Amino acid sequence: MAVAIASFSHHHFQSLPSLDAALVNYHNVDGPKLVREFFKRLFVKNGMKYIFGLAMPHRHFDIDPETFLVNYNGVSTA
């Protein structure tokens, strides 16, 4: 089942950091410590550990303005 949250926007997609940049940002803010000491406690304390998860928005490739991103069987592709 496909669910659209918002219309696809080339500009929004391109504004996401690359996977490499997202990983650098994650380590720059001490991501492992944040997950271990803040988010884990928040999710467990509020009974959300089996309901929600964490995600690190990023992109694996650039996309042309006239190209759309589609999701097929859990895989996003241009």
User: Considering the domain boundaries, does residue 64 fall inside one?
Assistant: yes
**Do residues 44 and 61 make contact, with C-beta atoms less than 8 angstroms apart?**
no
pLDDT per residue rounded down to tens, the chain (78 residues): 556 567 778 888 889 999 999 999 999 999 999 999 999 999 999 998 898 888 888 998 888 888 877 888 888 888
User: Considering the domain boundaries, does residue 70 fall inside one?
Assistant: yes
Place of tokens 């999701």: 71
- Degrees to nearest 5, angle at CA 31 with 44 and 53: 40
User: Considering the domain boundaries, does residue 9 fall inside one?
Assistant: no
Place of tokens 């928040």: 42
User: Considering the domain boundaries, does residue 47 fall inside one?
Assistant: yes
Backbone φ and ψ of 12, nearest 5°: -65, -45
- Please name every residue paired with 70 in a beta bridge, in sequence order, or none if there are none: 77
User: Considering the domain boundaries, does residue 5 fall inside one?
Assistant: no
Q: Which domain holds residue 27?
A: 18-77
Count of domains forming the chain = 1
